[in-house]
Structure 1
Amino acid sequence: MPEVHEIIFYGRSGDGIHMIADQLVQTLIKRGFYVISYPEYDPERRETLAKVHIRVSKEPINAREPVSKPEIAVFFDVRLLQNNRETIGVGKLIVNAPSKELVSKYLGNTDAHVISIDIHGLRRAGSNYPQYVVDSVLKALFSEP
């Protein structure tokens, strides 16, 4: 059975999660991985929940169902941490928040390794925030727990 890594992105419509997830997928494919990625939307309205499910492996992937126990969860809005069952048992959380204290406020105590990224601050500074997020996910994916 091949080792399959599961990643899930959460955001609101217009956050750019599909663009960043696609950038991650293209990077992984160029590195020789098999990748399955697909979006999941709430009914089409502004500011609704959007998810992107990603599976990564060195061998072909046969699973086609939604990611339910991700290794990495990426949240583009810290408020989305509330009432999110997929975060239970996740190994690594990457959250758009200016500090880990804010993440703790919404999530409470967790065993997950939390990485906070201030995407809004990166945007204001004019940095390449999509690449920063992709690099953070790659680092979390390929580093030891």
Structure 2
Amino acid sequence: MPEIHEIIFYGRSGDGIHAIVDKLAQTLIKQGFYVISYPEYDPERRETLAKVHVRISKEPVYVRGPVINPEIAVLFDARLLQNNQEVLNAKKLIINAPSRELVMKYTGNINGDVMNIDINGLRRAGVDYSSHMINLILNALLNEW
């Protein structure tokens, strides 16, 4: 069985989750990895919860279904941490928050590593946040290999 790394992305519709996942997948594919991803949505409304499940391996990925125990969880809104045990069990969290203190406000203590990125601040400054986010994910992921 090939070694498969799992990532789950959480956000609200319109947050740009698919753009980030597509760029991440293309970057990993160019590096020789196999990637499978698929979205999961709440009923179609504005600001509804969106999840994207991603699996990455050095060999073809045949596992289908939701990511239950992600190694990395990426959240585009710190408020999505509340009552989300699936995410709190991840080894590494990458969260859109201006500070780690704000993350702790919603979660308390977390077992895994927490990395925060201020996407909203980057957007206000006119910076393309996607490259920053992808670099954080790649660093967290490739340190596992």
TM-score (norm 1): 0.97
State whether residues 88 and 111 of structure 2, in contact with CA within 8 Å, keep that contact through their aligned partners in structure 1: no
- The corresponding residue for 1:116 is 116
Shift, 1:144, TM fit: 5.0
Residue number in structure 1 paired with 2:34: 34
- Where 1:25 maps in the other structure, the secondary structure is helix
1:31-70 maps to which residues of 2 (within 5 A)?
31-70=31-70
Q: 1:88, CA displacement in angstroms?
A: 3.3
1:1-145 to structure 2, matched below 5 A, reads 1-143=1-143
Q: Distance in 2 between matches of 1:124 and 1:89?
A: 32
Shift of residue 91 of structure 1?
0.4
Runs of 4+ more than 4 Å apart: none
Q: Deviations over 1:28-56 (max 9, x none)?
A: 11111011000000000000000000000
Quote the Cα distance in structure 1 between the aligned partners of 2:91 and 2:139: 13
Q: Which runs of 5+ in 2 are unaligned?
A: none
Shift of 1:143: 1.7
SS in 1 for 2:140: helix
Change (3 A) 1:65 1:113: same
RMSD value, Cα: 1.2
Secondary structure of the 2:130 match is helix
Tell me the CA shift for residue 127 of structure 1: 1.3
Q: Secondary structure of the residue that 2:115 maps to in structure 1?
A: strand
Unpaired segments ≥5 residues, structure 1: none
What displacement does 1:123 show? 0.8
Percent of counterpart pairs with the same letter?
68
CA distance in 1 between partners of 2:16 and 2:117 (Å): 15
CA distance in 2, matches of 1:24, 1:37: 10
